[in-house]
Amino acid sequence: MKKGTFSENEKRIGRFGEMMVDMLPEDLAFTLFVPSQKAFERDLRLRLNDSLVGEKLDDTYAVVSRILGFSAVPRTLSSVALPYGRQVAYDSISGFTLYISKDRDGMLFVNRIRSERVDLKKGEIVIHIMDGVIMDSEFEQSIPADDSEE
């Protein structure tokens, strides 16, 4: 089955976000909390120029698929359907618990990470762009330190 295409507005999820979305079947209900391109670079040290060639591509897919496990919920969660002023909890597909709340302006917080954009759709998948990466502490510790000072 061919994946649908993103509108110009939805292309803001970035290449790594597109990788995440493409790993899910778009005909099943999922909600995906995708890190922004800036968050992938800042928090995971993934950069487009370095990550999409040769052996680095395999490493990139491994990291992106791991992040997918932390940030995908097997149900539809639009920002409109989530209650304001109350926190709800859902398990991601990897079993990691996501604590979700909504701010007055309709933006979501997931495990204390704020959304930048909400309610993008591709097929049955609802996508929220996050200003950070949702991951457990064990995975976070496995991320190499920023080597830009070398």
Can you read off the two tokens belonging to residue 123? 């097929």
**Per-residue pLDDT tens over the stretch 9-35:** 446 788 899 999 999 998 999 999 999
Provide the percentage of residues in the chain whose pLDDT is more than 90.
Answer: 63
Q: Average the pLDDT over each of 42-51, 75-84, 97-106, 120-129 and give the range with the smallest value.
A: 42-51
Return phi, psi of residue 70, to 5°.
-80, -25
Please name the residue that has the structure tokens 């909390």. 33
pLDDT for 80: 94
Q: Reply yes or no on whether the pLDDT at 36 is more than 50.
A: yes
CB atoms within 10 A of CB 135: 24
* Domain chopping of the chain, boundaries: 11-138
Q: Rounded to two decimals, what is the model's pTM?
A: 0.84
Return the DSSP state at 84: B
CATH 2.30.180.10 fits 11-138, yes or no: yes
- Per the listing, tokens 């639009």 go with 78
If one compares 20 and 51, the residue with the highest pLDDT of the two is: 20
Pairing of strands 108-110, 113-122: antiparallel
